[in-house]
């Protein structure tokens, strides 16, 4: 399952991974995004393996243990309750299955950290104001995006949250100098 699938880009990558015998569900709260995902899906070899449904990360509309893997990419910074969303992801994954999060992160290299902070704190909001004046894109989107990324726990705190919520063998992989990170945890058998 792809939580917060948007127009399906990550969903299609998951479908490629599971192959012709697997199934992937993409879930998103935005009907317009889902409509675009369905249109794109119709033109892919995954059209019979992928299903797109409307729903939110904090109330996943599936029974316990429904999926082998529940993944999300660049979504958790947008949810109103991070712990509730992760708890829901854990709930719907089967014992032995994985929960995966790919998200923006905070670089650890001092020079890169300074550039990244400047970009989030100054460049994105400025660009957002310019685009708003030009009436391009949704109003306030870049400013919201920058604020939401700044509030998100860093990659190590996210890894610790995975562990605190009960996932085992939690790993964190930093990408591109720490600008993005992947956390992976396994739901143990006997998990409540």
Question: For the chain, which residues make up each domain, given as ranges?
Answer: 2-106+152-186, 110-146
Pick from 122, 67, 76: nearest CA to 97? 67
pLDDT > 70? residue 119: no
Span 60-72, pLDDT tens digits: 999 999 999 999 9
Pick from 14, 42, 11: nearest CA to 27? 11
Identify the band that residue 81 occupies on the pLDDT scale cut at 50, 70 and 90: very high
32: helix, coil or strand? helix
Identify the band that residue 78 occupies on the pLDDT scale cut at 50, 70 and 90: confident
The whole-model pTM stands at 0.84
Alpha helices in 77-180 (DSSP H): 82-92, 110-118, 124-133, 141-151, 155-164
**101: β partners:** 72, 183
Pick from 5, 32, 177: nearest CA to 106? 177
pLDDT of residue 75: 92
Taking the C-alpha atoms of residue 192 and residue 181, their distance in angstroms, rounded to an integer, is: 28
**Residue whose structure tokens are 């996210």:** 158
Torsion, Cα 177 119 153 81, to 10 degrees, reads -130
Q: How far is CA 112 from CA 105, 118, 147, 180, 185, in A?
A: 12, 10, 19, 12, 28
pLDDT of residue 142: 60
- Thinking of the domain 2-106+152-186, which architecture would CATH place it in? 3-Layer(aba) Sandwich (3.40)
> Positive or negative CA dihedral for 128, 131, 133, 138?
negative
Span 157-190, pLDDT tens digits: 999 999 999 999 999 998 877 778 899 999 998 7
């Amino acid at each position: 399952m792809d939580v917060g699938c948007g127009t399906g880009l990550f969903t299609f990558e998951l479908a490629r991974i599971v192959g012709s015998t697997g199934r992937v569900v993409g879930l998103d709260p935005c009907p317009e995004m889902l409509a675009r995902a369905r249109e794109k899906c119709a033109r892919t070899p995954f059209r019979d393996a992928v299903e797109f449904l409307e729903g939110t990360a904090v109330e996943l509309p599936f029974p316990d243990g429904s999926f082998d893997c529940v993944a999300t990419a660049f979504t958790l910074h947008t949810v109103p309750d991070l712990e509730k969303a992760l708890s829901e992801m854990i709930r719907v994954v089967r014992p032995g299955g994985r929960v995966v999060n790919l998200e923006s992160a905070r670089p650890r290299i001092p020079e890169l950290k300074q550039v990244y902070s400047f970009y989030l704190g100054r460049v994105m909001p400025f660009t957002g104001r310019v685009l708003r004046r030009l009436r391009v894109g949704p109003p306030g989107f870049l400013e919201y995006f920058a604020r939401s990324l700044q509030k998100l726990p860093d990659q190590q705190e996210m890894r610790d949250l995975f562990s605190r919520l009960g996932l085992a063998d939690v790993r964190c992989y930093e990408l591109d100098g720490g600008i993005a990170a992947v956390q992976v945890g396994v739901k143990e058998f006997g998990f409540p």
